[in-house]
Structure formats: structure tokens, C-alpha cells
Amino acid sequence: MEKVIVIGSGCAGWTAALYTARANLQPLVLTGKQPGGLLTTTSIVENYPGFPEGVDGYELMTRMQKQAERFGARASFGSVEAADFSRKPFTLTVDGEKVETQTVIIATGAGHRHLGVPGENLLETKGVTYCATCDGALPSFRNQPLVVVGGGDSACEEAIYLTRFGSAVHLIHRRDQLRASKIMAERALSNPKIKPVWDSAITEVLDVKQDKVTSVRLKNLKTGAESVLNCAGVFIAIGHVPNTGIFKGQIETDANGFIVPKRGTMTNVPGVFVAGDCADHVYRQAVTAAGSGCAAAIDAERFLAAQNQ
Ligand code: NAP
């Protein structure tokens, strides 16, 4: 039986593994289908402390894994299909095999909600991105018209951030009123570089033939009128989908599926802890995920120590 299983191998997962490994708990990390998590899909990470020149997202995650393994963490390239937290020890079904464990740290992260329009997937990392903080400063976006999609705080925040780089930022929203908090909405709409495009949806990202973003095809949802807007980048900020479906009915989540911690990082099930983006719809940064992974590891270690007294 395992002492600690960490589900997920992003910043939160590997940091939880590092700390539990250094506490001699030999954690088993189940990497999931995307080892290294969302960060491996971005290019240069410029806001992770300690890397003044920036660091490649994939490299950062590889380094985190190596660091945790150095102290005894073990990686298994498995995906959890089912979890039974109703009795102890907990049981996880991983690619058909059952594994028992005393504690679990859920660090399954969240995925970006996609628009689901033609061109979006094929042009991802070629102008389509889901993270202005990660990609906004790339040379290809400098002094170019950019597009942000969404009407929430994230879209406003991304649009404001992107005004540092783009020549103009077109904020495309499907309604004529932002969902964002008043202060964020006012800040965005009063910025002369941000140009709202109301009641509109992107119907296609162009141009797959050129293998880069050159424009978006728009439809006005009130009039039905179609148009093409030139841009070098499309920043999609229409919310996140936490990867928590397999825990449904056992671990308490909010209406959007984000896990709700109860005490520190402990969930409603004593012995099951949570870290990173699957419980965070506010900050969603690599460094905050790593910080919560550390906290979950410390909580798990203390929980085990109290159980074994
Ligand atoms: P959100 O509040 O859920 O907003 C998502 C936006 O995307 C909404 O405007 C929604 O339109 C739009 N949208 C959803 N699906 C769409 C689709 N398929 N096509 C086009 N548009 C679509 O998400 P968020 O902005 O990521 O914020 C999430 C949470 O984090 C919120 O609680 C927010 O306050 C918080 N947050 C706070 C800050 C801050 O305070 N600095 C920053 C970022 C996030 P509708 O409005 O029509 O539904």
C-alpha cells in the first residue's frame, strides 16, 4: 500500500511530490495523459521566479520531476479511471489496475475551455493561445493587432495585459455587456487600445493554409452580419474546465467543478488533499500551483503523522 499518491504531474503535483519525498513518504505520482501538465504546452515561461532569462515550460517540468525523483518520488505514466474514497485505505483504479493508498493529493489541474471553431486547434501555438501572461510578450505579437475572446475578468485582464505589446486589442464578446467585475470592466473599456466588439462570435480562425494566425472570421449574433478582422494572435479566455470529473459525488466541488478545500488543503474527505488549478479559478499561475502543492504535501505529512501516533 502507498502512503501518498499524487494524481497529476503539473507544478502542483511535482511540488507535492518533492515535499512528500523529502519527508520520506516515497510518493507515487500518476502523471495522467499529459505528463508535466498545461505548462508543457507553452513555450517560454518568463514569470517563474528564479529564471531571469525565462525557462521553457517543458524544461521546467522536467526539472521539477528530476528534483522530486532525486528524493525518492516515483512516476507512473498512468491515468486514474476511478477513485473510491468511501473507505480506507483509498482505492484508485489506474489503467485497469487497483492501487491502495493512505492519502491522496489531487493535482489534476484544469484545461482551457475551447471555442470549438475551425482553425482553433490547428493554429494553437501558431497565434492561438489560452494564456496572455505566458505568451503575450512573444515577438510575433509585438505591435500587431490582437484579439481576446470572452467577457469575464480573465478576458479583461488578458486584454489589459496585452495592450503592452499589441498595436490594438479587439475584445470580442458574445453579448453587449461584460460579465467581468465592474472595476475590471471599467479598466478594460477605458483603455484606448482596447476595442470592444459586442454581440459577436468567432466562427473561424484563419489561416490554416499559411500555418499562422492572420485573422478571425466574425459573426454578429444580433444582425447575422459576417466580417473578417485581421490579427496576429487570438487569446481565448472563456473560462476553464477543472479536471475533476472522476471525483464527482465523492469530493465536494463548486458549481463549476472546482474542488472546495475544507481545512488548509484538505477536502471534505479526511486524507484527500487538493492542490493547484483544479481548486483555483482565481490565480492559476505556475508559482501559485507549486505553492499549494507544497501546502498539500505538508498537510498530508501531518495527517499521516497524526494517524500513526
Ligand atoms: P468567466 O467569469 O466564467 O467568464 C467566461 C466568459 O467567457 C464569459 O464572459 C462568457 O460569456 C464567455 N464564454 C463562455 N463560453 C463561451 C463560448 N463558448 N464562446 C464565447 N464566449 C464564451 O471566466 P473567467 O473570466 O476565466 O473568470 C473565472 C473566475 O475567476 C471568475 O470568478 C472571475 O471573477 C475570477 N477571475 C478574477 C480575476 C481578477 O479579479 N483579477 C481575474 C481572472 C479571473 P457570458 O458572459 O455570455 O457567459
- Tell me the pLDDT tens digit for each residue of 70-102: 999 999 998 999 999 999 999 999 999 999 999
Q: Is the CB–ligand 1 distance for residue 280 below 6 Å?
A: no
Q: What is the pLDDT of residue 43?
A: 62
Q: How far apart are CA 12 and CA 295, in angstroms?
A: 10
Residue 223 has pLDDT above 80, yes or no: yes
Instruction: Please identify which residue in the block is written with the cell numbers 479587439.
Output: 170
Asked whether residue 197 carries a pLDDT value surpassing 70, the answer given is: yes
Task: Return the ligand 1 atom nearest residue 175 CA.
Answer: 47
Cβ partners under 8 Å of residue 191, min gap 6:
159, 160, 163
> Which residues make up the CATH 3.50.50.60 domain(s) of the chain?
2-111+240-307, 114-236
Does the domain formed by 2-111+240-307 have CATH 3.50.50.60?
A: yes
Mutate to test the pocket of ligand 1, among 113, 179, 204, 205 (most ligand atoms within 8 A of CB): 179
Tell me which of 115, 133, 154 to substitute to probe ligand 1's pocket, judged by most ligand atoms within 8 Å of the beta carbon: 154
The Å distance, Cα 281 to ligand 1 centre, comes to 10
The mean pLDDT value of the chain amounts to 95
- Laid out side by side, the sheet with 200-206 consists of 200-206, 215-220, 226-230
The pLDDT value given to residue 39: 81
Q: Which CATH superfamily is domain 114-236 in?
A: FAD/NAD(P)-binding domain (3.50.50.60)
Phi-psi region of 240 (alpha: psi -120 to 50; beta: other; left: phi over 0): beta
Indicate whether 226 pLDDT > 80. Answer: yes
Please state, in angstroms and rounded to a whole number, the distance separating the CA atoms of residues 296 and 280: 14
